[in-house]
Structure 1
């Protein structure tokens, strides 16, 4: 095999292994985080709707203190809830305000998930393109 071709193939393989595959892993991990956030907001929305539907004004619940240690808690007024809006900030919302906020967040999360899905598809296409280039350089027949 020609030395020039060997160097080209090596550079292509390094590009795939050193750049494209890590980018792909990172994009998939970021999209998975967004899916998790989407799931949390969906559960919160369902819980608020259940509270509204059943006209629940106070509840007793178990709160996870960490390391699977729980403590019983009583919420005397459920009409106002605190929602984590990011960066460690929690905002007090009424049920209606919380549902509106959740809808906006869900729309934004869906858009971000869609963007990451396109990015993942693009990276996979680039990997396939580089692998096809390697195949052509090595003159391996298409199966």
Structure 2
């Protein structure tokens, strides 16, 4: 293999390893955070519906302080809650206002999830394209073609 081809392959491998794979990991981490937010919204909606249905206005519960350390907490008035609306801002809602707001937030989260999923697909496509370019530089047969299998049987 000549020196130019070797440099091209090294460049493509560097693009894959240091660029595309890192972006892919970041995008997957972002998607995981969005999945977590989606789950929290679903749980909150179910809990609010249960409180509303049963007419519960006060509550005793256990709160996770971190590292699986819990303490008892008493919520004297469950008719109002503070919800994270983004960018670190919390808004006080009545239970019904929160139940009206949650579907709007879930729709936004769904759109974010679709966007991140598209980005992940694009990055994976770029990685596949870079691998294909490396194969072409090395004059290797495409892994997905049947001619590769046929050559293996000819030997």
TM-score normalized with structure 1 length = 0.92
Pairwise CA RMSD: 1.4
Q: Name stretches of at least 5 consecutive residues in structure 2 with no aligned partner.
A: 143-147, 149-155
CA–CA distance in 1 between the matches of 2:65 and 2:132? 53
Residue by residue, what CA displacement relative to the aligned partner does 1:88-132 show, whole Å, maximum 9, x if unpaired? 432211111111221111111110010000000000001001100
CA–CA distance in 2 between the matches of 1:76 and 1:84? 20
> Which protein has the larger Cα radius of gyration, Structure 1 or Structure 2?
2
CA–CA distance in 2 between the matches of 1:96 and 1:113? 26
**Corresponding residue for 1:31?**
31
Q: Does 1:22 align with 2:22?
A: yes
CA–CA distance in 2 between the matches of 1:66 and 1:86? 22
Q: Name stretches of at least 5 consecutive residues in structure 1 with no aligned partner.
A: none
Superposition deviation, residue 64 in structure 1: 2.8
The number of aligned residues is 143
Moved more, 2-11 or 108-117: 2-11
Residue by residue, what CA displacement relative to the aligned partner does 1:13-49 show, whole Å, maximum 9, x if unpaired? 1111111110101000011011111111110001001
TM-score normalized with structure 2 length = 0.85
Bigger relative contact order, structure 1 or 2 (CA pairs below 8 A, ≥6 apart):
1
CA–CA distance in 2 between the matches of 1:6 and 1:68? 52
